[in-house]
Chain A
Amino acid sequence: MASKAITAPKNKAHELTFFEKLGNRFSNFRKRFEDGSLGTKLAHFIFGAGNFYHKQYVKGAIFLLLQIAILAVMIFCPSINDTPYGWKALANLPLKNLSEGGGFDPLTGHFTSGSDCKLMILFGFVTIALIIIYIMLWNMSIASSYKADMDKKIGKKPTSFKEDMAELLDGKFHVLMLTPTCIAATVFTILPTIFMIALAFTTYNSQDMNDLGTNLFRWNGLQNFAAVFTGEGSLGMEIKNRFLPVLGWTFIWAIFATLSCYFGGIILALLINKKGLNGKKVFRTVFIFTIAIPQFISLLAVRNLLGEYGPFNQFLKDLGWITESIGFLGLKTGDSESLAKVMVIIVNMWVGIPYTMLMTSGILMNIPADLYEAARVDGASTFKMFFKITLPYVIFITTPYLISSFIGNINSFNTIFLLTGGGPTYTGYQAGGTDLLVTWLYKVTIDQGSYNTGAVIGIFTFIITATITLITYRRSKAYNEEDTFQ
């Protein structure tokens, strides 16, 4: 008996696109202005005016205060570290008319600092975010007043602030709960991501800042992206000569590291779950030890084990098989790159297999026994049952894990950095033989100060991982045939 998937019916109804939704929000502006009360008309200019008109004083006051606050920031341009917000921040965004600063009064010790381009860009984006918030508040203020108009028209009393708050704890409780997450995502993820992307279009690296002056850099369009092909960027020929080899190895590593741990884990789980095996719990516990020990300790221990003076090399020397230590992990210039690559994949199996083993054990125990029973009745062999029942079942359940594991391995900083440090190194280049995009990114930014090139590498890494995730996941059975495995 083979597994058969039943495809769930798809909802073919037209779903509004993001832009359609956005358009709908603004398309009825005219209608609201014409049909709305005096308060609604006033709300187009003064936030909360409509709420005051409908005696929703608290709500109106909050809208008004926010309008005043945002306008005050935009007009008076408060500054931090001599870098302003508001309209001046927008004027600063082109990064023109920069000041090197340095005015100093020797008698008093008073001192003026120069422009800081990082803050200029950051505050520029914060100001743009404020403008977006201002527009949304504007729309909300009008909508709030218009809703009160409509409520009045049908004889309902406009909702009070207290009722709105109560609704937040009742019907809109999910909003209350999701708000902190949205705020955190905006402040700690979206804003830094936009800032990082922006750096890819600048000359922000220590070399150019030497020539321009500290904290000063400029926009340079797509030059950093072009440097991947021309080598005319802050990293010189490195970005051109090492990008493709590093990208290629990143893929090879991700494929081998993922598949070796995945199938290794399945095989181990099958062995441990084999009927009649005594001491299953003991075996499981032994392998779980590798998870219990922090990964970096395991990796550093292996690094020492295979090091120049490590026990493994010493053992081979004592046997008389070698006279010079073997550079298993490519820690020295001139060591074998291929050997180092094979070694990191093998060592990674040691730390990666137990995770899959643990997960697969659970899945194996949950495969319905009647599937095997029916297969046996039909005369299926053990081999056939494995390929027709066990493996499809496990793959179906673990596809999302497989994808996330692949992406995780593309960004597997710890394993490479702690084991080989990216080595063996090549003279003239930061990127060594086993460097992944992510470890190279670390060296490019932290060691070389080429933040703009680092941002380019980061963007490429994101594009690659996002593309692979979307394509593979959307094409997987786990996505298309959710809850349908039989």
Chain B
Amino acid sequence: MKKFLALMLVFVLAASMLTGCSGGGSSSGGKDDGVIRVWVGEESAEFYQKVCDEYIEAHPDFGYKIEVKGMDTGSVAGTITNDPTAAADIYTVAHDNIGKLASTQCAKPITDEALVNQVVADNPASFQKVIYSTLDGNQYLYGVPYISQALFMYYNKALVSEEEAKTFEGLQAAAARENTKAITVTGDDGFNMCFALLATSVVDHGTSVKIYEGAESVSGGSKGVSNCQGDDTVAIVRWLQEYAADPNGFKWASPDGWEADLDKDNKGVLAVIGGAWHYNTAKAALGESNLGITMIPTFTLTEAACEGLTGVSAGDVYRGGTFADCKCFMINANSAASKYAKEQELIAYMASKEIQNRSYLECLNVPAYVGAASYIEQCYKDGKVTESQFNLAAMQVSMAEWGIPQPFITGTLNTYYYSKNGPAIFRAMIDKTAYPTTGDQILTETESLESIRKGLYLIEYIWMHGVTPDSFPASLPEKA
């Protein structure tokens, strides 16, 4: 009898636990309880709840209550993929999560013609390349952009002049004067590495670097075309090796955090490349009066950097690069099908130019639509925003012209750009430290042209295959 009871209870408990994990999530979607739930960034929750309430008031026949909740948009994609049935009907993610969310069937395509037309009319071509994904063999719009973001530079105005902040060389001179380091980044991952890898010529904004180019419109997980072996990339690596080796040049962020480096008392570094989400931390480290905001500086290739290369010349000027991204509204695949039309109607409203403008004024979210720069400037002229608030937006808009959207691939969980040791090898190249290459081989000599080409070949190979190759090609670069 005792085993009988124990087993019965085990069965009941196991069954109830597993049922509890289920929620909705079947092919027919979740239940329609008369509420549309929306997740936006934590800083914007109050604002979007307010504008949604206004919308319901103006459209009494809308038929749904709207509940807005603030989430950390950096980690929300993981939260959604872990349990899509517990996620909101409409959520906000950075566009590079679209491929992942679409392929994990956490997102539903957007098919409303009016909304699709609005997205096409309002958004720059660069964003429009990265908001589609394929499903069932067809290409669909998945994300509706409404916030734009790019990297720029914070610097210590008390120690660096405006002119010095325009170039890496100027920062270096200021650092030599102050006996410190010139510039750092907020992390050594692939996202922050883009300041070097995506640096572009000031003459034509050109770079030979390609990351999954053409992959976004291809179904079945094709990774498109990548290139990390160009002469310009080799020269930039050499330049950065030189700059990082200089006692007043580049440094990786301290383990105590980049803010400890930037701190006005520690004076560990004069400038940091970061995003709008670092604003409050940077302000706390330097104080508002010392906080300068400007574009990522330019640098000039040296003789040593260009030696033996044909595609670049000493004196060529490049600007530090950035990923130019957008945050998008997406619809949860597990949301009830009966809400579908109203969800699209609501997104059309929340992503409209008018609401984007209001979002800038109230939450400092930089609008994503074409021509937002003139609105931002007008707001500053009209005294609606402070100088640093204006700079924060204006520099992102300016830097967006020098950047590309983060790449992603339809039908796959994510790309290998950020993982599988690609960024770690890049850092080792800059630090001139040893790193593993093929098989059990360790590359210890990291300064010669041949070893730099090997390193860049490895990085490109990892982007495409997720692993290091079995051997190097007979000659490098493998491609022109």
Spell out A's residues near B (CB within 8 Å).
62-63, 66, 70, 80-82, 101-104, 106-114, 122-123, 126, 129-130, 133, 136-137, 140, 144, 164, 167-168, 172, 175-176, 179-180, 182-183, 186-187, 191, 206-207, 209-211, 213-215, 231, 236-237, 241, 304, 307-310, 329, 331-334, 421, 423, 425, 427-429, 448
Q: Which of A111, A211, A241, A333 contacts B27 (CB 8 A)?
A: A111
B97 interfacial contact with A, CB 8 Å: no
Do residues B7 and A137 form an inter-chain contact, with CB atoms below 8 A? yes
Q: A110-B29, A136-B3, A237-B440 are in contact. Are A66 and B8 (CB under 8 A)?
A: yes
Give every chain B residue within 8 A of A103 (Cβ-Cβ). 136
Within the complex, the shortest CB–CB distance from B416 to chain A, in Å, comes to 8
Do residues A168 and B2 form an inter-chain contact, with CB atoms below 8 A? yes
Give every chain A residue within 8 A of B427 (Cβ-Cβ). 333, 427
Give every chain A residue within 8 A of B4 (Cβ-Cβ). 62-63, 137, 140
Give every chain B residue within 8 A of A144 (Cβ-Cβ). 1
Q: How far is the CA of A133 from the CA of B25 in the complex (A)?
A: 29
Not counting A102-B136, A175-B5, A179-B2, a sample of 14 additional A-B residue pairs whose C-beta atoms are within 8 angstroms of each other reads A81-B25, A109-B340, A111-B27, A112-B27, A136-B3, A175-B2, A180-B9, A214-B103, A231-B440, A308-B260, A334-B431, A427-B425, A427-B436, A428-B424
Do residues B17 and A207 form an inter-chain contact, with CB atoms below 8 A? no
Give every chain A residue within 8 A of B333 (Cβ-Cβ). 111, 113
Q: Can you list 23 residue pairs at the A/B interface with Cβ under 8 Å?
A: A80-B18, A80-B19, A80-B21, A102-B136, A107-B111, A111-B105, A112-B27, A130-B11, A144-B1, A167-B1, A168-B5, A179-B5, A209-B413, A307-B254, A332-B255, A333-B431, A333-B433, A423-B255, A427-B425, A427-B433, A427-B436, A428-B425, A428-B435
Do residues A111 and B108 form an inter-chain contact, with CB atoms below 8 A? yes
Within the complex, the shortest CB–CB distance from A279 to chain B, in Å, comes to 38
Do residues A172 and B221 form an inter-chain contact, with CB atoms below 8 A? no
Q: How far is the CA of A236 from the CA of B136 in the complex (A)?
A: 33
Q: How far is the CA of A214 from the CA of B29 in the complex (A)?
A: 19
Do residues A104 and B109 form an inter-chain contact, with CB atoms below 8 A? yes
Q: How far is the CA of A66 from the CA of B263 in the complex (A)?
A: 68
Nearest residue (CB) in B for A423 is B255
Do residues A309 and B105 form an inter-chain contact, with CB atoms below 8 A? no
Give every chain B residue within 8 A of A167 (Cβ-Cβ). 1
B22 interfacial contact with A, CB 8 Å: yes
Top 7 A-B pairs, shortest CB-CB distance: A331-B255, A109-B340, A175-B2, A427-B428, A427-B435, A428-B436, A80-B22
Give every chain B residue within 8 A of A211 (Cβ-Cβ). 221
B268 interfacial contact with A, CB 8 Å: yes
Q: Which of A112, A179, A207, A308 contacts B256 (CB 8 A)?
A: A308
Do residues A241 and B440 form an inter-chain contact, with CB atoms below 8 A? yes
B314 interfacial contact with A, CB 8 Å: no
Q: How far is the CA of A427 from the CA of B437 in the complex (A)?
A: 10
Give every chain A residue within 8 A of B370 (Cβ-Cβ). none
Give every chain A residue within 8 A of B104 (Cβ-Cβ). 214-215
Do residues A129 and B14 form an inter-chain contact, with CB atoms below 8 A? yes
B421 interfacial contact with A, CB 8 Å: yes
Q: Which of B109, B266, B421 contacts A309 (CB 8 A)?
A: B266
Do residues A113 and B27 form an inter-chain contact, with CB atoms below 8 A? yes
Do residues A179 and B29 form an inter-chain contact, with CB atoms below 8 A? no
Within the complex, the shortest CB–CB distance from B427 to chain A, in Å, comes to 7
Q: How far is the CA of A211 from the CA of B27 in the complex (A)?
A: 24
Within the complex, the shortest CB–CB distance from A184 to chain B, in Å, comes to 8
CB-CB contacts below 8 Å: B177-204 with A: none
Do residues A175 and B6 form an inter-chain contact, with CB atoms below 8 A? yes
Q: How far is the CA of A427 from the CA of B420 in the complex (A)?
A: 11
Q: How far is the CA of A211 from the CA of B439 in the complex (A)?
A: 22
Within the complex, the shortest CB–CB distance from B56 to chain A, in Å, comes to 21
Q: How far is the CA of A427 from the CA of B85 in the complex (A)?
A: 39
Within the complex, the shortest CB–CB distance from B213 to chain A, in Å, comes to 18
Do residues B255 and A172 form an inter-chain contact, with CB atoms below 8 A? no
Do residues B256 and A81 form an inter-chain contact, with CB atoms below 8 A? no
Q: How far is the CA of A331 from the CA of B256 in the complex (A)?
A: 9
Q: How far is the CA of A423 from the CA of B252 in the complex (A)?
A: 15
Give every chain B residue within 8 A of A186 (Cβ-Cβ). 10, 14
Q: How far is the CA of A133 from the CA of B221 in the complex (A)?
A: 44
Which of A101, A109, A213, A423 has the most CB atoms of chain B within a 10 A radius of its CB?
Answer: A109
Within the complex, the shortest CB–CB distance from B151 to chain A, in Å, comes to 23
Do residues A179 and B6 form an inter-chain contact, with CB atoms below 8 A? yes
Q: How far is the CA of A332 from the CA of B108 in the complex (A)?
A: 43
Q: How far is the CA of A102 from the CA of B337 in the complex (A)?
A: 15
Q: Which of B2, B413, B435, B440 contacts A172 (CB 8 A)?
A: B2
Q: How far is the CA of A212 from the CA of B28 in the complex (A)?
A: 25
B359 interfacial contact with A, CB 8 Å: no
Give every chain B residue within 8 A of A215 (Cβ-Cβ). 104
Do residues A308 and B26 form an inter-chain contact, with CB atoms below 8 A? no
Within the complex, the shortest CB–CB distance from A174 to chain B, in Å, comes to 9
Q: How far is the CA of A213 from the CA of B99 in the complex (A)?
A: 12
Give every chain B residue within 8 A of A210 (Cβ-Cβ). 221, 412-414, 466
Nearest residue (CB) in B for A425 is B424
Within the complex, the shortest CB–CB distance from B272 to chain A, in Å, comes to 15
B468 interfacial contact with A, CB 8 Å: yes
Q: How far is the CA of A485 from the CA of B2 in the complex (A)?
A: 39
Q: How far is the CA of A309 from the CA of B180 in the complex (A)?
A: 14
Do residues B14 and A187 form an inter-chain contact, with CB atoms below 8 A? yes
Which of A102, A133, A213 has the most CB atoms of chain B within a 10 A radius of its CB?
Answer: A102
CB-CB contacts below 8 Å: B191-225 with A: 221
B135 interfacial contact with A, CB 8 Å: yes
Within the complex, the shortest CB–CB distance from B444 to chain A, in Å, comes to 11
B317 interfacial contact with A, CB 8 Å: no
CB-CB contacts below 8 Å: B309-348 with A: 333, 335, 337, 340
Do residues B419 and A448 form an inter-chain contact, with CB atoms below 8 A? yes
Give every chain A residue within 8 A of B433 (Cβ-Cβ). 333-334, 427
Q: How far is the CA of A164 from the CA of B4 in the complex (A)?
A: 12
Q: A210-B466, A427-B424, A428-B435 are in contact. Are A309 and B1 (CB under 8 A)?
A: no
CB-CB contacts below 8 Å: B1-52 with A: 1-11, 13-14, 17-19, 21-22, 25-29
Q: A214-B103, A428-B424 are in contact. Are A133 and B10 (CB under 8 A)?
A: yes
Do residues B135 and A104 form an inter-chain contact, with CB atoms below 8 A? yes
Within the complex, the shortest CB–CB distance from A297 to chain B, in Å, comes to 17
Do residues A101 and B8 form an inter-chain contact, with CB atoms below 8 A? no
Within the complex, the shortest CB–CB distance from A72 to chain B, in Å, comes to 12
Do residues B2 and A206 form an inter-chain contact, with CB atoms below 8 A? no
B411 interfacial contact with A, CB 8 Å: yes
Give every chain A residue within 8 A of B158 (Cβ-Cβ). none
Q: How far is the CA of A374 from the CA of B8 in the complex (A)?
A: 61
Give every chain B residue within 8 A of A180 (Cβ-Cβ). 9
Q: How far is the CA of A206 from the CA of B81 in the complex (A)?
A: 13
Give every chain A residue within 8 A of B10 (Cβ-Cβ). 133, 182-183, 186-187
